[in-house]
Structure 1
Amino acid sequence: MAARTAPFSRFEFVIAWRYLRARRAEGGVSVMTWISLIGITLGVAALIATLAVRAGFRAEFVGTIVGSNPQITVYSAPTEVVEGSGVYSRLIRDYAERTERIKAIPGVVSAAPAVRGQAMVSFGERSNVADVYGLALSDLKNIPNIAHSDDAQGDIDDFGEGIAMGIGMARDLGVSVGDTIKLISPNGAKTPLGTSPRVNAYKVVYIFSAGRYDIDQTRLYMPFREAQSYFNREGGADEIDVDVTDPEKVENWETAISDASGPGTLLWTWKDASGSFLRALTVEDNVMFIILSILVLIASMNITSGLIMLVKNKGRDIGILRTMGLSQGSILRVFFLCGAFTGVIGTLAGLTLGVLFALNIDSIMSFVNWLNGGGVWDPSIRGIYYLPAKLQLWDVIKAVSLSLVLSFVVTIFPARRAARMNPVEALRYE
């Protein structure tokens, strides 16, 4: 009895590769092979590039949030200022003690009392509305995107002598480091005739870029003590800003912080503020993956068409191979390898193209921006200043695995058809 050949022997690869490169008698097969190859390449490249851009956008968006804003904000529930007065306040009087207790919690990176308010900023004939944060210099230095801004102007160590403002607001007002602006608040000094507006002049000592358009357009920092006086918060703070080691799991610290802060504590996390947007991004990512997966499937289906044509044109060869002793399994594997070669080569080409696209996204966006005359990426709409891309191993694995699995699956049907071909019928008219 003749020995059975091992599955996927070398001769099976040789035959499959020769069939795949056929150009003369099977010109149509060659065209279908190229169509399949190009389709899979573009599908995989589009899938990898899209996943990288979506991951980069989410990472940049979250990074600008947690790098410029408190990850957990501690508030106080309204309490009666004087018993029976009917006047309530949310001011935190014991902010120093609460802050120290919160700092002692494992995993808490920083905790800082803050005063918050809104005021109108005026410089010359221009004015704008500012979201004012009152922080100590040491606490301001703990905000990564503010203290380590790439486009910063001035010296943050001079913060005690003036104020810091976002680069967008400074640009709109025409302000430079060293200029003096006016800060106007309607809630000023209280007199028998009512509350009079408070107008103070401050020197701009530091201009920052937080990486987010909305923050750069509205954010202004002033020293904590000065903010207490300016907004009538003497002896108290509006909130305590807390950062933790893992912002993505910020909920793990909520109970401990609430207990350390004491009764009447209210918490607001960055996920509470931006959670709906992030969930929308997740849904959009899943939908995009499904849509692009369908494109890869359509491209893979072209492999089936090409193999069916190849099987039809190679009927005589199949009959000869069978009479020479090749089993149905060998014939199946030969034509399976024909389709698999196309899928593997297309997937590798798509992987290369997708990775190159993701790594050169800045140059590509610059070209697109130039081609359209500018304004392609509007930070006032999208929040961040540029379109980032972040290659993640899991995303690449998903794209490559999907393409290979689909390519292998669609190859099975025409390969089985070739294996079941009767050699007598194949050679009857030859």
Structure 2
Amino acid sequence: MTLGFSRFEFLIAWRYLRARRAEGGVSVMTWISLIGIALGVMALIATLAVRAGFRAEFVDTILGANAHTTVYVSPQRITNEFTDDVYVVPGRIADYDAMATRLAEVPGVTRTAAIVKGQVMASANDRSNVAEVFGVARGDLEAMPRIVDPATSEGDLERFDEGIAIGSGIARELGVGVGDRIRLIAPEGARTAFGTTPRVSAYEVTYVFSAGRYDIDRTRIYMPLAEAQSYFNREGVADEIEVFVDDPERVGEWTLALMQAAGEGAQTWSWRDSSGSFLSALDMEDDVMFVILSVLVLIASMNITSGLIMLVKNKGRDIGILRTMGLTEGSVLRVFFLCGAFTGILGTLAGVVLGVLLALNVDTIMAGLNALTGGGAWQPEVRGIYRLPAELRAWDIFRAVGLSLVLSFVVTIFPARRAARMNPVEALRYE
């Protein structure tokens, strides 16, 4: 018995797949199997591409407007020696320039930036919104790719030191634009003889940005570092040191080195610490979606078995004649295996083409659906990002193709073995 496929086996298999009118049921089952596999592979590739694109966009919006990791000083507990009361003093970094320099010297760190953070109430035009203020130097703000993107921002960043930069969501909610003034109200402001009173200051909006994330655009304000230190009573200190590294995906490898460089009492908080649980959930959902869609491909592949069983039954006389002419069991098995394999291969190829086309146009499709539903198909306030991108990865396409072909080949073996073991005498007895 030959181990390879012979030319005549391919010819016979291809002839059987082109069923005549009298064998229309076989032809219909073949087309159903092919279309089912194509749709299953298309859904699998498109889903994996959308999931990969969503994760990439989500991570990019995080890293494009936030530090890869931040270094801060732990709060200190101070006990009053007279009353034994315990006070918690927020951690402040007094020598932030020196600490930033030490952190920048750690191998793999690309840059560092000292920041001051605070919560405020922003108001304008009889509207108000809660906002988080980041006090940064202009050079550090200019190094944030999502903030300085000219396609999604307006205003002049050169005038940043003369005012503030606000997110597009805040600008929309307050009804302001570049050149307008907004009031910022901080709960802990000016210190007086009667205690600390809220501080109210008005600033000109010199820059409006969109970071690509709904929550950032709706809550974030950037203020010059020196002004933020004065506004939040942080003269001469910083709240955190932002650190950026070569490979953000492996930011955890720098934790120990950064803590040693920062000194005693320093702690780190990376973007993975804040978003790690969500990314883990995405990874788990990817695996679950792959398994679920694999079941769909399996169901489509099972139609190949039904079609081949019908084909074997219809071709019983042909099998008997071929066997009496000297065709071996192995040749018969390979002929019917090729019948199923052809269906699986053609369906898989069609599914890859359709899946790639769907993935490449998913953003346009979602935009159309969003327009038809009045914005209900994709809600940025729920999803966090403004668009649904797709990222085609060779590994995902390979997984989908491999799964489809393996399933198609496996389900073909049973009816092919049944055809090979058919007794030619029984097949020709009533002919």
Alignment TM class, shorter chain as reference = over 0.9
Determine the C-alpha separation between the residues in 2 that align with 1:51 and 1:349. Answer: 17
- Tell me the CA shift for residue 98 of structure 1: 0.5
Letter matched to residue 64 of structure 2: G
Tell me which residue corresponds to 2:394. 393
Letter matched to residue 16 of structure 1: A
Determine the C-alpha separation between the residues in 2 that align with 1:84 and 1:270. Answer: 40
Q: 1:84 to 1:240 in 2, by over 3 A?
A: farther
Determine the C-alpha separation between the residues in 1 that align with 2:40 and 2:296. Answer: 6
Determine the C-alpha separation between the residues in 2 that align with 1:361 and 1:393. Answer: 18
Determine the C-alpha separation between the residues in 1 that align with 2:206 and 2:389. Answer: 31
Q: What is the 5 A alignment of 1:242-391?
A: 242-391=243-392
CA contact (8 A) 1:121 1:182 kept: yes
- Tell me the CA shift for residue 149 of structure 1: 5.0
CA shift digits 1:57-97 (9 cap, x unpaired) = 01101111111111101110124789969653411001111
Letter matched to residue 180 of structure 2: D
Letter matched to residue 198 of structure 1: R
- Count of aligned residue pairs for this structure pair: 427
CA shift digits 1:348-383 (9 cap, x unpaired) = 000000000000112211232234343210000000
Letter matched to residue 26 of structure 2: V
Letter matched to residue 13 of structure 2: A
Letter matched to residue 12 of structure 2: I
Determine the C-alpha separation between the residues in 1 that align with 2:370 and 2:311. Answer: 45
Tell me which residue corresponds to 1:51. 48
- Which secondary structure state, in structure 1, belongs to the residue aligned with residue 22 of structure 2? coil
Moved more, 129-138 or 82-91: 82-91
Determine the C-alpha separation between the residues in 1 that align with 2:30 and 2:177. Answer: 63
Determine the C-alpha separation between the residues in 1 that align with 2:287 and 2:26. Answer: 35
Say whether residues 1:233 and 2:230 are aligned partners. no
Letter matched to residue 351 of structure 2: G
Tell me which residue corresponds to 2:208. 207
- Tell me the CA shift for residue 401 of structure 1: 0.2
Tell me which residue corresponds to 2:34. 37
Letter matched to residue 78 of structure 1: P
Q: What is the 5 A alignment of 1:98-109?
A: 98-109=99-110
Say whether residues 1:71 and 2:68 are aligned partners. yes
Q: 1:397 to 1:208 in 2, by over 3 A?
A: same
CA shift digits 1:99-123 (9 cap, x unpaired) = 0001111111211010000111111
- Tell me the CA shift for residue 6 of structure 1: 6.1
Tell me which residue corresponds to 1:141. 142
Tell me which residue corresponds to 2:131. 130
CA contact (8 A) 1:136 1:224 kept: yes
Determine the C-alpha separation between the residues in 1 that align with 2:372 and 2:421. Answer: 55
Determine the C-alpha separation between the residues in 2 that align with 1:201 and 1:316. Answer: 93
Scaled by the length of structure 1, the TM-score of the pair is 0.97
- Tell me the CA shift for residue 197 of structure 1: 1.5
- Tell me the CA shift for residue 13 of structure 1: 0.4
Q: Which runs of 5+ in 1 are unaligned?
A: none
- Which secondary structure state, in structure 2, belongs to the residue aligned with residue 241 of structure 1? strand
Determine the C-alpha separation between the residues in 2 that align with 1:202 and 1:289. Answer: 51
Determine the C-alpha separation between the residues in 2 that align with 1:184 and 1:370. Answer: 38
Moved more, 186-195 or 379-388: 186-195
Q: Which runs of 5+ in 2 are unaligned?
A: none
Determine the C-alpha separation between the residues in 1 that align with 2:38 and 2:152. Answer: 40
Say whether residues 1:11 and 2:8 are aligned partners. yes
CA-based RMSD: 1.5
- Tell me the CA shift for residue 191 of structure 1: 1.3
Tell me which residue corresponds to 1:427. 428
- Tell me the CA shift for residue 25 of structure 1: 2.1
Letter matched to residue 71 of structure 2: V
CA shift digits 1:290-343 (9 cap, x unpaired) = 110000000000000000010011011011111111111110000000000000
Letter matched to residue 392 of structure 1: R
Letter matched to residue 61 of structure 2: T
CA contact (8 A) 1:81 1:89 kept: no
Say whether residues 1:405 and 2:409 are aligned partners. no
